[in-house]
Amino acid sequence: MRKRNVGIFACMAGIVMGLGISQLNVAGIFEKEPMKVYNSVERKIPESAKSKLKDEGKCWLCGSDDQSLMDYFRKFDDLGIICTKNWYVQDMRIRNHDEEGNLIGAQGNSRTGFSGTGEGGCFFHTNQMPDHGISEVSVSFGDDSFFDVRTVQDHLCQTCLDKLIESMEVYCGETEKPMARDLVLVDFQTLDLYALQEHNGGYFVRDYYVEIESEEDGIEVRAFYCPKLKNGKKDGE
């Protein structure tokens, strides 16, 4: 009888020890795995800055200055893309205009072009079809294609500088500083600015619809002239 009890006790002890070793091994496996840390992502804009422009009439956005073409483009009912680093203005030419800004009829052709903003900056490939109210601009980022407020502080009035900074909204981690690209969409008529960052999808800007699609090293911007229909019809139908 005593031998049988001893055998049962030994068997039970073996089971307990086996379970204990198994639990320890499982715990060891989990301890070896690195703990995953998830940082929340939120929308941020760069820190506000104070304008250093002394003459507001020479503001590169709302004023007139020899180093900005905005006073010329303001004649057109159209949209454009501004590279803020050197204030390069790319006219999207969604519709046909003459040099005075008057709308004109079909011209019978589309336009393709290439341009750049210099070493380390952005490169533009445009495909403009104004006879159909369509424009496509492919922007390739350079190594230095990031927004730096110091490049515009001396050239924008406070109102326009605030508006530009607010348009540089990007997604980033909770502890990270926003690193916005140095691009912004501009409405030549209202001078409203719209973000052109990788996370954006699209905008309705008056009678235009704009799509922004991220690419590997840049963005694709497509704009369409599509005025609102009245009772499902365009004017004159």
Q: What is the pLDDT of residues 180-230, one digit of tens each?
A: 889 999 999 999 999 898 666 888 999 999 999 988 889 999 999 999 888
User: Nearest 5 degrees, angle CA 7-CA 10-CA 14?
Assistant: 140
CA atoms within 13 A on the CB side of 2: 0
Backbone angles phi, psi at 7, to 5 degrees: -65, -45
Q: Does pTM surpass 0.95?
A: no
| 179 in Cβ contact with 69 (< 8 Å) | no
Please report, for the chain, the start and end positions of each structural domain, with discontinuous segments joined by +. Answer: 1-36, 46-225
Tokens of 129: 């079809």
What are the structure tokens assigned to 191, written together? 């001078």
pLDDT tens digit sequence for 67-123 = 899 999 999 999 999 999 889 999 999 999 999 999 998 888 888 989 888 777 889
Q: How far apart are CA 54 and CA 137, in angstroms?
A: 34
Closest by alpha carbon to 219, among 237, 235, 202? Answer: 202
Average pLDDT, the chain: 83
Q: Residue 39 above 70 pLDDT?
A: no
**Closest listed residue to residue 142, CA positions, set 156, 167, 124:** 124
